[in-house]
Structure 1
Amino acid sequence: MLKERFFWIGLIIVVCSMIGNHLYFQSKQLTLPIFLKHYYETQVYEDGNQLQFYYLNNKENPVDVSYVSIDGVLLNPVDVPKFPTSYDENYRPNIEQNFTHHTLESVKFRFPEYAIPVKVGSDDVWTFNNMKVTFTNGKTLDVNIGEVRVYGKPPENEALNNTYSSSSNQNFSQWYAAATKPLTIEGISSPFSDQIGTDLFIKLFAGPDITSQDALNRFSQVPEWYNDEFLSDVHLEDLEGSSLNEELFPIHLNESDFIKLYMYFNPESSYIFDFYITVYGTTGDGEPFEYAVPINASNAPYLTEDDVNKLIEERMGGLNK
């Protein structure tokens, strides 16, 4: 009788444990994928350029993106072929990162000229913030993906000559240019400064007008993440320059004088961006000019388990809601 009682007690404990584990697992499941925020500027091409979007998905029983509708434009994902050497039946080629209960995945779409409301060479701009995403389970979700701007033609100006640029997966890029004529730089603007905030940090160095590092430091206001730990990964010996500030301008350049921009990206940011900042001012002849400098984080977002939980809390107020 005693043995039978222990048997039933043990069985009840096992059943309760299984139910608890199942409920915990269910509590960690997303009702639908969560898209990250993207801030893109691009131009249209006749055969279409590709844009990549990232989202959180369930690791168990995931759903794929079937197609999207953007302002009535229907787009299908660009196929990502499996590697022929992959023998894992659960292998998914669009997975960027794996977490305990979720995956970070990506999907690409091609934007051909014939399908979108922008023509090559035109002054048109197509801006969108939302996509209606239909998944393979038949459900459709209206998703805010940040902001994308598609231009009919690239920005062009010959006031500055780009002499060198580079980017890396160390959350850093640099851009050098020389003035082709006498210039007065009146400012530098970013199209998404309100949305991105301090996740993009830009330092400027120009010569020969600005040469004193002490003078530059008077203007510097750096974000908290721009610290010794971050800089130890940058491996950049030349760290001159000041953070952008209205007091830096105007900057006067003679022909062949140079300007350098150092661009740093918050390594903990969940934003994805690929856009232009604008250097603007007037030439010595009094003509206004604008020069577009490409900004590209150059790598996919890297999230931690805490980042994933925070994103879910921010977007859904918790899991499975």
Structure 2
Amino acid sequence: MAHDVMRQASTSATSEGRWPDFLVVGAGRAGTTSLHQYLARHPDVYLPKAKAPSYWYAAARPATAQLPAGFVRSEHTYKSLFGGCRADQRCGEVSPVYLAATDVPARVMAQCPDMRIILILRHPVDRVYARWVARRRDGLEPTPTFEALLDQEWAHPLERDDAHATYMASGIVTPTLREWFALVPEERRLVLWFEDFARDTAGSMRTVCRFLGVRDDIDLGTARRHNASGGRIRHPWVRGIWAASFPLRRAVRPLVPVSWRDAAFRLATRRVDALPLAADTRARLTARYAKEIRALAELTGRDLTAWLGPTPAQSPTGLP
């Protein structure tokens, strides 16, 4: 039956490319890189080598908009990413920005009404903090403390139609999630939760495989985590070189194989020290996101009472 589903879903392929069958639409810093890597190991699934082409977001932005180098604006280029997909495979891609802009769902579903979507949702405080930790580690964020960052953004509105490249506003996902839920039938959407994904990654991936209609007994290497925030690189010398090397890493990114980039990241972050979020900062930010947490609980039917408490959601270290 799984292969019948794949054959029916893969009829739009051409020699010049095709539209994908599914999208992982976010959320950022909720395990999407690990999900990308696991799916890429499945013989019945085809993913572009690079995560986050972000076409459905980028194509609608002005030509003058400054976007990350990996974002794809051209329909031809985007469809060519899936040109290698066999007729018996499901193809898709992972772009967390699709949960950051309210105009994306309508654009996707107008072109691909049978699209399947997968989401991983996580406590907004943990996602926003993980984003700062990762960007600070990688030399992308000059603000020296998370508290100073919050002070800079506190007066800005949280709810925006486009929260790409923000911190606090990126913690708000329900406006875009409502659009996805309104346009995608329940049987074609899968909602995962970061806590569950971290606690039972293999079981979560079996659920994903069944949702996509592919075999669920494949070893996807789920014991390994990818792109983990981790904390601060322990050795000052390594920490300084890694952060300062960002301009060079960005320049050579198109020329270096993904496997080499991943190897360099693993080497640089082999030893890190945890950076726990201060309890008073967590309480302050949780109170700011209380309305969002309640709205998310109502929309998804998940009991998120624990998210309103003073302690973080428990999850093993290692996932982003």
TM-score range, shorter chain: under 0.3
Q: Of the two, which has the highest radius of gyration? A: 1
Bigger relative contact order (CA 8 A; separation at least 6): 2
Relative to total residues, which structure has the larger strand share, 1 or 2? 1
Relative to total residues, which structure has the larger helix share, 1 or 2? 2
In the superposition, the TM-score normalised over structure 1's length comes to 0.21
